[in-house]
Amino acid sequence: MEPPDPRNLVPPGRAAHFSAFVAGVLAVAVLVSAHALVSLATTLPELPAAFWTMAALAVACDARPFLPLGRRQSSSAVFPSTCFTFAILLGWGLGPAVAVQAVAVLVSGVRMGHAPWRTAFNAGQYACALAGAYAVTRLGPGDVFAGGPLRWTDIAAIGGAGVAWFLVNYGLVTAAVRLRFGERWWPNAWHGLPFELLSTGSLLLLAPVLVTAARASAALVPLVLVPLFAVYRMARLTVEQHQLASLDPLTGLPNRKALLAEVNEQVHRHAERGARGEPDARLALLLIDLDRFKNVNDALGHAVGDRLLVEVSGRLTDVVEPPDLVARLGGDEFAIVMTGLADVAEARALADQVVRALAEPVALDGLPLDVGGSIGIALYPEHGEDFATLMRHADVAMYDAKHRSDTVAVYTAESDHNSAERLGLLADLRRVLEAGTAGRAEGGDPPAHAPAVRGGDGAVLPMDERAGLRWWSWRRRPRPVAQDDELIARIVTGADPMLRRAAWPAAPPAAPTAEQWARPVPADGQPGSARADGQSGSARADGQPGSTPDGSRAGPVRNDGQAGSGRADGLAGGGGRPELLPPGVERGAEPAGDVGEIMMYYQPQIAIATGEMVGVEALLRWRHPRRGMVDPEELIRVAEQSAVMRLLTRRVVDDVVEQLAKWSAAGLRLRAAVNVSVRDLHTGEIADQIADRLARYGVAPERLQLEITEGALMADPRRVLTTITRLHRIGVGIALDDFGTGYSSLQHLRRLPLSEVKVDRSFVLGMTDDPDDAAIVRSTIELAKALGLRVVAEGVEDERTWRMLHAAGCDVAQGWFYARPMPAEELVAWLARYRPLRPLGGHDGADADRRPSR
């Protein structure tokens, strides 16, 4: 049995108000037209042939009105009888017009299957509109076509009558829709107004021409059918073009444009349901991406791929029942709009049905093709209140399902790696890097006789003329801006880390001379580290708490994995507490346009056997004016997804090589390790950049070492190996970082020109408590030693781990047991206080010249 037309039904709970409105309209229609209809009985025989011709055409044309398919405006159908009845009104009065319009409405109602109440309402609606138009004509000089030439008052009366007809008719229909469905009045009325003005307005304006022709001869009246047919045909073609623009030409499903319109309309309806407290006020957008579709296109061709898409669209339409909508977005992406949901479980249930439907192989040309799909679900209003937000969140959920090798996933904020917050962070990162690049480009060479070089950390380092180093100081920091207002000056000081350090009461320690490098630490000094938060406390080698200059006790070194020597990924890493701000400067009191400053922290790497510092690992830090210290993992995760990673790597390499030159000028020769990402290794640009910077600053290639992860190797082994080989030929050392956490480790150790292996901190942190971790560390050390590689352990945070690594034969260690990451000038001060520790016990402070063993 065919279901009833929803246009003939009234939603429960609205029948009383809507019925009262319909009855009121009918009552008004009877009142305004009763007298005219009664008098019609006497005037009907006197009406001319032109009237009867118009009446016959009005009834005949309304037997097949113009119905734009898919329209949801207040009055979607266009009835040609409007032209004829309005012309009858102008020529012969209200009674004949209302009578003809009633017959035409009855015929069209029977033809279209309208309910009796609806046919009656339409007749009353038109009667009220005609009565309003007739009242306007009576305000003029009289019958506008009584004879003689038309005056401007006649024309004004005709125009006013048309406006009155349109306002009354459109207003009644819009009010009926509002009362019947509860939809918002103004958006629906405004949305349908252009179409109504074009269609109905054209018919009303044609009526005066029709009356004028009828006055001349009744034979001219049928000629109006030609322009009516032309208007009808043009309107239909226009609607068909709009419909085609909203359909996918391959599958015949609605496309993205139609999906946008559907979601926007359903969002409005569900917002009203939610405002009324109805339980089914949720809307779900399901985004489907086919798996392995590209393999079908590549292997069998696009023609077979198109047939596969048609088959998939058929399966989706079989699963999804109206009023839910299936759309094809393009390629192998489809979308489903589910309406009237109470919770997300209903959307999941439909997604599971879709998965089962797609799981069945598709037989094309005798070849069964396996088609699967990943589905992401976004729910209104929890996950978004507009099409763009719902679409993006469904896309995030769909890719989350793919990454988890799952079939269905509901959006969660934790899976959204491209949120507006992260995009803002990426924009700020680009700004701070471009600002640093511009600052370098504006710099110039210092005078040749300059006796000292002021480093980026503010320390003045003497130039070693015997080294023959040609110096290019092409990086200048902007000078502090003089401020008259004390508050503004404090804000500017708080925004610039260099100015903050200068604002501390105590002067920073001076750079030691060459003799001071080897000077023993006083007898009362305990070996320790300068804290990354700016306090010069000590973390004692015995694992006991050290002391800070103000006499308070420093807490013990933590071993919970929250902080330490392990980097985040790529260029950043290590733990570091935020610096303390100078007195009177509050955190976050920075200018709104400031994006902070990128700076390098350095964590010492210590030879376990001798206790000497043999190198440092360069770690990236970014103090954001509003976010504080940006998490290194978040920073790298954001940068690696865009071309900003290239700018970041360039900045890090420039800063580290420049710092190596400054240390060399001060008589300190260290090896610095820099982490690089997979994007950096896909091209040879990084090798050219490093070679250029080493030559520019006069730094020996062996003093720079690049750390790469196994994940970077697996991304594209061929191109990565080419870049690494070029760097090796230059003389730059290559270290395999996070060893043991990736794939094909032994193959990489055999093929790559490595000089060092770094044991991942996840194993080092647990080796004192977990025998398995300890066994993994010992095995890694033995394997690397057999291959002639240096072994570095990161994440060394207590004495027991330090001694176990020495017993296992590890070469170098880094971690909070020795020192936290710190800025360059703090590293100089820390090294001046540091006394080497040897695993056998005592402190060796007698040797005046301690150089790295490697």
C-alpha to C-alpha distance for 489 and 582, rounded to whole angstroms: 13
User: In the prediction, which pLDDT does 173 show?
Assistant: 85
C-alpha to C-alpha distance for 61 and 4, rounded to whole angstroms: 26
CA torsion through residues 559, 564, 565, 567, sign: positive
User: In the prediction, which pLDDT does 323 show?
Assistant: 85
**Is pLDDT above 60 for 517?**
no
**Is pLDDT above 90 for 618?**
yes
In DSSP terms, 759 is beta-bridged to: 739, 793
Q: Which long-range contacts (CB under 8 A, 24 or more apart) does 133-140 make?
A: 133/86, 133/89, 133/161, 133/162, 133/164, 133/165, 133/168, 134/89, 134/93, 134/94, 134/97, 134/161, 135/164, 136/160, 136/161, 136/163, 136/164, 137/89, 137/90, 137/161
Task: Write the pLDDT tens digit of every residue in 631-679.
Answer: 777 777 777 767 788 888 888 999 999 999 999 998 888 899 998 887 7
**Is pLDDT above 90 for 287?**
yes
Could you tell me if 79 and 108 are in contact, meaning their C-beta atoms sit under 8 angstroms apart? yes
**Is pLDDT above 60 for 589?**
no
The mean per-residue pLDDT over the stretch 411-422 comes to 70
DSSP state of 841: S
C-alpha to C-alpha distance for 419 and 399, rounded to whole angstroms: 14
pLDDT band at 213 (very low <50, low <70, confident <90, very high): confident
What are the two backbone dihedrals, phi and then psi, of residue 238, each rounded to the nearest 5 degrees? -65, -45
Could you tell me if 628 and 587 are in contact, meaning their C-beta atoms sit under 8 angstroms apart? yes
C-alpha to C-alpha distance for 640 and 120, rounded to whole angstroms: 68
| 794 counts as catalytic | yes
User: In the prediction, which pLDDT does 181 show?
Assistant: 64
In DSSP terms, 334 is beta-bridged to: 288, 328
Burial (CB count <10 Å: 0-12, 13-18, 19+), residue 220: middle
**CA distances to 300, 472, 558 from 664, in Å:** 62, 14, 33
Q: Catalytic: which of 794, 797, 825, 826?
A: 794
Could you tell me if 270 and 282 are in contact, meaning their C-beta atoms sit under 8 angstroms apart? yes
**Is pLDDT above 80 for 101?**
yes
Task: Write the pLDDT tens digit of every residue in 698-732.
Answer: 999 999 999 887 666 666 677 788 888 899 999 99
Which of these, 285, 262, 289, lies nearest to 347 by C-alpha position?
285
User: In the prediction, which pLDDT does 646 show?
Assistant: 82
Tokens of 218: 């009744």
HEC secondary structure over 652-663: HHHHHHHHHHHH
Angle of helix 116-138 relative to helix 81-92, nearest 10 degrees, comes to 40
Task: Write the pLDDT tens digit of every residue in 226-256.
Answer: 877 776 777 677 667 777 788 888 998 999 9
CA dihedral 170, 175, 180, 186 (to 10 degrees): 90
Q: In what order do the strands lie in the sheet with 372-380?
A: 325-330, 333-341, 282-291, 372-380, 408-410
Task: Write the pLDDT tens digit of every residue in 107-135.
Answer: 988 888 888 888 899 999 999 999 999 99
**What Rg, from alpha-carbon coordinates, does the chain have?**
41
C-alpha to C-alpha distance for 289 and 281, rounded to whole angstroms: 27
Peptide bond into 381 cis (omega under 30): yes
C-alpha to C-alpha distance for 674 and 326, rounded to whole angstroms: 51
User: In the prediction, which pLDDT does 144 show?
Assistant: 58
C-alpha to C-alpha distance for 370 and 430, rounded to whole angstroms: 44
Name the 3-class secondary structure at 466: helix
Mean pLDDT of the chain: 74
Q: Is the pTM of the predicted complex or chain greater than 0.75?
A: no
Phi-psi region at 458: left, alpha or beta (left = phi > 0; alpha = psi -120 to 50): left
